[in-house]
Amino acid sequence: MLDIKVTKTTAPKAKPDEKHLGFGNHYTDHMFIMDYTEGRGWHSPRIEPYHSLELDPAALVFHYAQECFEGMKAYRAANGRVLLFRPEKNAARMQSTHRRLCIPEIPVEDFVQAVKALVSVDKDWVPGEPDTSLYLRPFTIATEAHLGVKPSASYQFIIIASPSGAYYAEGMNPVKIYVEDEYVRATPGGTGYIKCGGNYAASLIGQMKAHDLGYSQVLWLDGVERKYVEEVGSMNCFFKIDGVIRTAPCVGTVLPGITRMSCIELLEKWGYKVDCESRLPIADVIRAGKEGKLEEVFGTGTAAVISPVGELRYEDEVLTINGFQTGPVTQRLYDTLTGIQWGTLPDDMGWTQEVE
Amino acid sequence: MLDIKVTKTTAPKAKPDEKHLGFGNHYTDHMFIMDYTEGRGWHSPRIEPYHSLELDPAALVFHYAQECFEGMKAYRAANGRVLLFRPEKNAARMQSTHRRLCIPEIPVEDFVQAVKALVSVDKDWVPGEPDTSLYLRPFTIATEAHLGVKPSASYQFIIIASPSGAYYAEGMNPVKIYVEDEYVRATPGGTGYIKCGGNYAASLIGQMKAHDLGYSQVLWLDGVERKYVEEVGSMNCFFKIDGVIRTAPCVGTVLPGITRMSCIELLEKWGYKVDCESRLPIADVIRAGKEGKLEEVFGTGTAAVISPVGELRYEDEVLTINGFQTGPVTQRLYDTLTGIQWGTLPDDMGWTQEVE
């Protein structure tokens, strides 16, 4: 149990217009910080007024990207209740990320306590407009000032919070996806399964290329054979082919998404046949599309929850999926997950936790 | 030509003891900074007293590691002259890095001018003890405060400088190398050929594993077949096998080292047969070792210049190279390069530039 020292702001900011929040444009009044010092461990958990970070230009985070993050949301439910969605899963994934990056772990219960404490202090910042939420960004950075390539002797674990608008401000429209065959996101033995900054820096160029070609997201293939589907942009990706719902297995190159995991659990509960253990060749996806068996494609992630895919381009092939309409499974998952998250549906799965 | 505004410190620091500098422990009195703003380009080049960076916790560098660096040195030659070694090569490589990371490029001449300007202002910090140098660290970070995954709209390009001790304070001793076959450093389509932070964060775990096994460095294999040698730690690696000197080709997964390039040019000038275009299977290295044909192995990089390898371990095989002694080609390269860098040998290659 962390003993969190809270220092409240004396100059609260004006709240932004909840109808025009966008994503990542506004930050709340406070932030959570905890320090790590070699020999002392994680210490000094505190909530402070939101402020700039002051770091030596030699801090390791600026040079060797020893940094990682999580993404999660707090949702405003009826009667002013505020809910979190499976925060312990984010905490566990952050531990896995820390291990791969040689950063000392944070106990799951401390992570969840810190998230709840910050949301509690900034509760008024959880927006109430439909489909808005308070986006939470826990992250860890290496702070030691040293130019040698080595794990840092000091870190900061920080949580900031950003009120965010409805992802589908203009309704849930299917997106067009470009299958990337030049750049690679991840490879076995690498960092594809963790949320480290380097994965995202490396992926920007593929994203820009897709945009230039008129596509909004990239579908990444495996880095070894360039043959199997892995992720879409920063989402996991599902394919309903001839009645079976498939998604890439999490075998070291694919981020184990919490929305992904929740979709699999719901689909299995609903009686769908789900295959999340065998790899799916892009050639099979294309063939299914041509044979009329590619019934639905959708991405899953914290930001969009569910993102229907209406078009896939791979090399010279362009597939339109389900007449560029959101499919029934895609819609049902979206409705169910968002219903649980915003508390409009009963939480039969026990996935939400209320912030006091 | 940059119009660099210089603000000198009013509180110069005490210089450290040149006999005990170590690496990356001390920083000079000043730093170079230049800003990038979308729509305006790179602007406001300036030299200021060394100071902390103040950044919003949402700055993109902390989350998506849009960051990169270069490493180079200023050398104290006779009569107080200060030399740089092929700085235009670092500038060009940084451009290549910027392109891969979707960061706007900096003109080569501006980069070199900035480096020279900082060294000139901090010239008294270039140490004069044998084999010491002023290590220079140009780096670029994404500064926009935004949580969306996208190229930043603003950056800072910064140069800091650190007086550094002799790499071989106790003489040039061969190192023991562990051939890593679990973790992967780079894969085609990825970022192995650039100096981005993410490459280094991802490599820490392999380095720690090697240390735990009693080895000082990792030899990375290719990420697809785990069959071909690529780099040692953060150095390029050369193998002299049966009279031919081989090093991994720079085909997208190997950093194009400036020391590597210089070694190849010297070796060819000296009449050695060099193969830096065909890939070298680790199995061939092991076989050559067993047959007594693995004559020398050495790493090349800015920090060590040349690092002789005395032992290689791959799976259960342990090879001792040249009786754990520095070989003649290794020694000749070291003597020649360091002679040119510190100005004790004539610079027939035209590689050095004097800082006025």
- CATH number of the domain within which A224 lies: 3.20.10.10
* Same structural domain, B70 and B198: no
- For the domain that residue A58 is a member of, what is the CATH number? 3.30.470.10
Please indicate, yes or no, if residue B53 is contained in any of the structural domains: yes
Which of A129, A164, A199 marks a domain boundary?
A164
Residues A213 and A114 grouped into a single domain: no
pLDDT value, residue A166? 87
Q: Are residues A158 and A295 in the same domain?
A: no
Q: What is the pLDDT of residues B71-93, one digit of tens each?
A: 999 999 999 999 999 999 999 99
Are B52 and B320 in contact by the 8 Å Cβ rule? The answer is: no
What distance in Å separates residue A243's CA from the closest CA in chain B?
Answer: 33
Contact B54 A52 (CB under 8 A): yes
Residue of B nearest to A224 (CA): B224
Q: What is the predicted pLDDT for the residue at A272?
A: 98
| E strands in chain A | 5-6, 30-37, 41-49, 53-55, 67-69, 72-76, 82-85, 133-142, 154-164, 175-180, 217-221, 229-232, 235-241, 244-247, 273-275, 294-301, 305-314, 317-320, 352-354
- Complex confidence, ipTM: 0.97
Please report the pLDDT score of residue A169 as a whole number.
76
pLDDT in tens, A273-317: 999 999 999 999 999 999 999 999 999 999 999 999 999 999 999
Q: What are phi and psi of A68, to 5 degrees?
A: -160, 170
Which of A64, A160, A204 is closest, CB to CB, to B58? A160
Shared domain for A202 and A229, answered yes or no, is yes
Crossing angle between the packed helical segments A258-269 and A87-100, to the nearest 10 degrees: 130
Contact B58 A189 (CB under 8 A): no
Q: Which residues of B touch A102 (CB under 8 A)?
A: 204-205, 208
- Are A159 and A180 within one domain? no
Beta bridge partners of A121: none
Provide the shortest C-alpha distance from residue B221 to chain A (in Å).
11
Chain A residues touching residue B59 (CB < 8 angstroms): 53
> Is the pLDDT at B248 greater than 90, yes or no?
yes
B31 lies in some domain? yes
Asked if A201's CB is within 8 angstroms of B64's CB, the reply is: yes
The pLDDT, as a whole number, for residue B170 is 75
Residues A179 and A300 in one domain: yes
* pLDDT on residue B234: 84
Same domain, A16 and A126: yes
Q: The domain containing residue B153 runs over which residues? A: 5-164
Instruction: Tell me the chain B residues in contact with residue A197 when contact means C-beta distances shorter than 8 Å.
Output: 61-66, 197-198, 201
* Average pLDDT of the segment spanning B247-252: 94
Asked if residue B269 and residue B136 are part of one domain, the reply reads no
- Which parts of chain A sit beneath pLDDT 70? none
Using CA atoms, how far apart are residues B158 and B196, in angstroms rounded to an integer?
A: 15
Nearest CA in chain B to A253: B184
pLDDT of residue A168: 81
A159 plus A191 within the same structural domain:
no
Q: Are residues A148 and A27 in the same domain?
A: yes
A160 and A181 belong to one structural domain: no
Q: Based on the structure, what is the number of domains in chain B?
A: 2
Please say if the pLDDT value at position B190 is more than 80: yes
* pLDDT at site A233: 86
**Average pLDDT of the segment spanning B280-294:** 97
> Does some domain include residue A53?
yes
In a domain, A180, yes or no: yes
Q: Is the pLDDT of residue B167 over 90?
A: no
Quick: pLDDT tens for B11-53: 999 999 999 999 999 999 999 999 999 999 999 999 999 999 9
Which chain B positions have a beta carbon within 8 Å of A158's beta carbon?
Answer: 57
Q: Is A190 within a domain? A: yes
Residue that is last in its domain, among B117, B137, B164: B164
pLDDT digits (tens, 9 = 90+) for B23-32: 999 999 999 9
Contact A66 B100 (CB under 8 A): no
Work out the percent of chain A whose per-residue pLDDT is above 90.
96
Domain-located, residue B58: yes
**B224 Cα to chain A: minimum distance (Å):** 5
Contacts of B52 in chain A (CB under 8 A): 54-57
Summarize the confidence of residues B200-225 as an average pLDDT: 96
B339: left (phi over 0), alpha (psi -120 to 50) or beta: alpha
Q: Is residue B211 assigned to a domain?
A: yes
Residue A352 within any structural domain of the chain: no
| Residue B161: predicted pLDDT | 98
- What pLDDT, on the 0 to 100 scale, is given for residue A167? 84
pLDDT of B169 higher than 80: no
| Co-location of A207 and A334 in the same domain | yes
Domain boundary pick from B164, B190, B220: B164
State how far the Cα of A69 lies from the Cα of A195, in Å rounded to an integer: 6
